[in-house]
Chains A and B, each alone.
Chain A
Amino acid sequence: MNDLLVANSVSKNFGKFKALNQVSIAVPKGSIFGLLGPNGAGKTTLIRIINQITMPDQGTVHLDGHPLKPEHIRDIGYLPEERGLYKSMKVGEQCLYLAQLKGLSKSEAKTRLKYWFDKLEIGDWWNKKIQELSKGQAQKIQFIVTVLHQPKLLIFDEPFSGFDPINANLIKDEILQLRDEGATVIFSTHRMESVEELCDHIALIHKSNKVLDGKLNDIKRQYKTNTFEVGLESLNKDQVFSEIQDKFEVLPATFKNLNDDIKLNIKLGEHASPNDLLSFLTSKAEVHHFMEVIPSASDIFIQTVKNN
């Protein structure tokens, strides 16, 4: 089995509203899986079904080859988007309580908490109440509580909200480290740059349906249009420009460059080779910039959502 989590045609209705319609995803072991979609698409419902908070109307979910059972709660760590802690409880007590709910023994939980508190340098918070902490500080506690029981599957819903860039980086590094240690991560966010940075796989849910999924690179390959961004320098700009325009489909491009170049996006036909383009260009002008345009996760997101 290479997939840790497999959801098979999962549907869920709330009254007449269809929150999920036959959604299937497969999350490979050891990957960071981006679960994307506009607001209200059904991501949270799917995540809640994986966490056994809500039950699906149809379809099955398998974790590590077994249908989801209450015992699997120990194998999952979930950081919900709507998150908080008991305000008037002390940090240490609270962490111990939540860890014990996940099945850790009290002494085990203490040892692990000490490790994490030292690692994130927050040892002196143990006896503070949550209401004395800032939002970002409380988020750190929340992160620790989520990963403390070393689950096989981690689900983060907007994990970086409320963090300053330094702490966001810290958490990002922790997530990557957890992945390297063997955990599988489902990552739901609207921040596309972090998807770009972290995710190996993505699935896009839109209006209760899964509209896209696969390896991020495969998807990008699918979405690329064989377009190249070029920067040329020539004494005879107008002539070069018109010659290129006769031969290729051309769009203006913007990028930063030192010289006042001709900046173009050149779209090649489906089977045309970039080498042919390059040799044509070198024969006409000096090439300073030549790059394939690869669609960003954000472009793919917007394009897919608009088309559906």
Chain B
Amino acid sequence: MNHLPLIIKREYLTKVKNKSFIVMTFLSPLIMIALVAVVAYLSQLNNDKERTISILDETGYLNDVFQNTEHTTYTNLSGLSLKDAIALVKEKEDYGLLHISNVDSLELISNNVKFFSEESPSLSVISGLEQRIEKRLREMKLQKDGVSMTQIEASKTNIDIAQESFEGEKSSKIDNIVKLAFGGAAGYLLFMFIIIYGNMIMRSVIEEKTSRIIEVIISSVKPIQLMMGKIIGTSLAGITQFAIWVILGGVLLVVVSSIFGIDLTQVQTPQQEMMNQAMQADGAQAMAENLIVAIGNLPMANLIVAFMFFFIGGYLLYSSLYAAIGAAVDNETDTQQFMLPILMPLILAVYVGVFTVIEDPHGTVSTVFSFIPLTSPVVMLMRIPFGVPLWQQGLSLLLLIGTFIFAVWFAAKIYRVGILMYGKKPTYKELFKWLKY
């Protein structure tokens, strides 16, 4: 008798009708958006702050370097002594005082610049000042050697290396960034999905044990049917929740940003910084065009198909292990010792993905980890946008499916025995023995 649809339906409905599930589904995007909005607002607040920086340039070389900007005002204190200048800055409560002591030669200036302030100054302020001084000093040194200002201006070049594969596929930096974004998002999504819904499966197995309904159920259905029903039902609930999050999050994002006029894109993340750099190189319009081209360049069909297979394969593999853990223990506190071996490969996969794949998507480390079944779903998903030969994808998927079948067999064994075991927390040795029952 096939009860699988019935079990899936029950698991799905119980999850979806659960109050805390409903609350989480609708509250999470709100909290997330609120968080992003607060961060965006705060960083904006920080950027908007007006500063006054006093300059005491005893050499006179650098006075005209410091032009007022929107947020920063420079005051020239030339003529005052350092002591008086400091006293004045303190009194005015300026942000700080930049002091360049009087030295004979240009070469020595670089070692004689100091910044005085009440509190330690922000890194961006200091590096901004440094950049300006460096630029001016270089120009002056060149001029001293007889290079004219026009020549200096003319020598400025901007390089954007055009990339092309041997097959003639053109790509650019922006391509790589887009690939990283897609791969990273896919890998990270899988990671989150496994952690959240794997745990949910585990809890629902434990619930059946603690409420002692398990023996009633498995006198009607095969344990493996119950397990698979649980995994599929919970996954469907998870997909529902995720879909609602995405839709609700998108809508809220638009609403919040239009109401409060907060430009959420101003929240600086490392990825965006890279984007910005790319943007500076290309110019905004070219950048937009490139972005479209880059997305067009992605192996979309491959990406979508591979995403489905690796996502499902990886998720099922991990969730069957979660189900086995749930079956082996009596309550949630006992799960810790078994969680570690599951979380380790998962976290490793994310680290490998983030650090190695970005650096070299087809290097040995990335390639190897995209074959090892426990890490392959995450790593392979991150690699695929960079173009992975089909035979590699196929082999990796085959290994994944093989391991998945083994894991289900293994989990079903543990599950079958474990769900009827109460009392003492099992050791690994005992789990191994259960396999032979």
A contact set with B: CB distance below 8 Å: 14-15, 48, 51-54, 70-71, 73-74, 76, 78, 80, 82-89, 97-98, 100-103, 142, 145
- Any A CB within 8 A of the CB of B422: yes
* Interchain nearest-CB distance for B259 vs A (Å): 38
The answer to whether A102 touches B220, judged by C-beta atoms less than 8 angstroms apart, is yes
- Any A CB within 8 A of the CB of B120: no
Contact of A53 among B6, B207, B219, B422 (CB under 8 A): B219
Chain B contacts for A71, CB-based, 8 A: 1
Chain A contacts for B10, CB-based, 8 A: 97
The answer to whether B6 touches A97, judged by C-beta atoms less than 8 angstroms apart, is yes
Chain A contacts for B208, CB-based, 8 A: 86
The answer to whether B216 touches A98, judged by C-beta atoms less than 8 angstroms apart, is yes
Complexed CA–CA distance, A76 and B220 (Å): 9
CB-CB contacts below 8 Å: B186-226 with A: 207-208, 211-213, 215-222
The answer to whether A84 touches B212, judged by C-beta atoms less than 8 angstroms apart, is yes
Beyond the given pairs A80-B219, A98-B217, 14 more chain A to chain B contacts, judged by CB atoms under 8 angstroms and listed by A's residue number, are A53-B420, A54-B437, A70-B1, A73-B1, A82-B215, A83-B212, A83-B216, A84-B213, A89-B14, A97-B6, A101-B3, A101-B220, A101-B221, A145-B216
CB-CB contacts below 8 Å: B1-56 with A: 1, 3, 6-7, 10, 14, 18
- Any A CB within 8 A of the CB of B436: yes
| Given A15-B436, A70-B1, A97-B10; A82-B422 close (CB under 8 Å) | yes
* Interchain nearest-CB distance for B20 vs A (Å): 11
Offer 27 A-B interface pairs, CB within 8 angstroms, sorted by A: A15-B437, A53-B215, A53-B218, A53-B420, A54-B437, A70-B1, A73-B1, A78-B216, A78-B219, A80-B216, A82-B422, A83-B212, A83-B213, A83-B215, A84-B211, A86-B211, A86-B213, A87-B211, A88-B18, A89-B14, A97-B10, A98-B216, A101-B3, A101-B6, A101-B217, A103-B1, A142-B216
Chain A contacts for B436, CB-based, 8 A: 15
Chain A contacts for B216, CB-based, 8 A: 78, 80, 83-85, 98, 142, 145
Chain B contacts for A100, CB-based, 8 A: 3, 6
The answer to whether B219 touches A51, judged by C-beta atoms less than 8 angstroms apart, is yes
Complexed CA–CA distance, A100 and B229 (Å): 15
- Any A CB within 8 A of the CB of B71: no
CB-CB contacts below 8 Å: B406-437 with A: 420, 422, 433, 436-437
Chain B contacts for A97, CB-based, 8 A: 6, 10
CB-CB contacts below 8 Å: B48-91 with A: none
The answer to whether A85 touches B219, judged by C-beta atoms less than 8 angstroms apart, is no
Chain B contacts for A89, CB-based, 8 A: 14
The answer to whether A85 touches B6, judged by C-beta atoms less than 8 angstroms apart, is no
Those 3 A-B pairs whose CB atoms lie nearest each other, nearest first? A84-B212, A101-B220, A80-B215
